[in-house]
Amino acid sequence: MSKLVEIFPSDNLQISIAYATENNFTGKPVYARAACFLHPAAAQALQKALAIAEELDLGLKIFDAYRPTEAQWKLWEHTPDPNFLAPPERGSPHSRGVAVDLTLLDAEGYELDMGTAFDAFTPLSHHGATGISAECQQNRLLLLGIMTCAGWDFYRNEWWHYQLFNSREFPLISDAESGVGMM
């Protein structure tokens, strides 16, 4: 198994790990610490996305990346909704270190309006949702373009979720196996 790579903030990258705070759909911290890790292949694709965003005078803000399998179970136990969460027995791309939840930042470091919040489990969060403003649709399409050009696939129900195309080829990683101590 490849060792996970820690991702650090930079000039055009903010990191705000939602599941290490109460500011997530469970209302309480799921992770014991706020840190951002990805599989090396995903970290490389993230660097490509950052380079593309920078060319457009934009940045990225990460809400979640590697998610230990134990955390996936906690999220599922709170909200067992397969439209927005991968069933833990099947495994999430997050628990393989090859998925990232993120948004776009403007040149001043403010989030672009995407029409819903991160982790809003509603049809308005779907790619192509028409119940949001044209500006929000354009912002989502801009994020989609940046991420797909950098080698990421998207999940149709969540404008914020991107994963490597071959995500199922990567093994699930528990907190103990990761060596990074998120839980």
**CATH classification of the domain holding 117:** 3.30.1380.10
For the question of whether the overall pTM of this predicted structure is more than 0.75, the answer is yes
Residue 183 lies in a domain: no
Q: Is the pLDDT of residue 177 over 80?
A: yes
Q: Give the pLDDT of residue 180.
A: 95
Crossing angle, helix 40-55 and helix 134-149, to 10 degrees? 130
Q: Give the pLDDT of residue 53.
A: 98
The continuous run of DSSP H or E covering 15 comes out as strand 13-15
For residues 164 and 151, the answer to whether their CB atoms sit within 8 Å is: yes
- In angstroms, the CA 142 to CA 25 distance is 26
What's the angle, vertex CA 158, arms to CA 60 and CA 166, rounded to 5? 80
158 belongs to the catalytic site:
yes
Q: Give the pLDDT of residue 63.
A: 98
Residue 29 lies in a domain: yes
For residues 107 and 178, the answer to whether their CB atoms sit within 8 Å is: no
**140 contact partners, CB below 8 Å, separation of at least 6:** 114, 115, 127, 159
Q: Give the pLDDT of residue 8.
A: 98
Residue 140 lies in a domain: yes
For residues 173 and 4, the answer to whether their CB atoms sit within 8 Å is: yes
Which is catalytic among the residues 6, 54, 108, 158?
Answer: 158
Say how many domains are in the chain: 1
Residue 17 lies in a domain: yes
Span 72-127, pLDDT tens digits: 999 999 999 998 999 999 999 999 999 999 999 999 999 999 999 999 999 999 99
Span 2-48, pLDDT tens digits: 699 999 999 999 999 999 999 999 999 999 999 999 999 999 999 99
Q: Give the pLDDT of residue 1.
A: 53
Q: Which tokens is 118 given?
A: 């991160």
Span 147-163, pLDDT tens digits: 999 999 999 999 999 99
Q: How far is CA 155 from CA 13, 105, 131, 147, in A?
A: 22, 20, 18, 12
Residue 65 lies in a domain: yes
Place of tokens 């399998």: 69
Domain that holds residue 67: 5-178
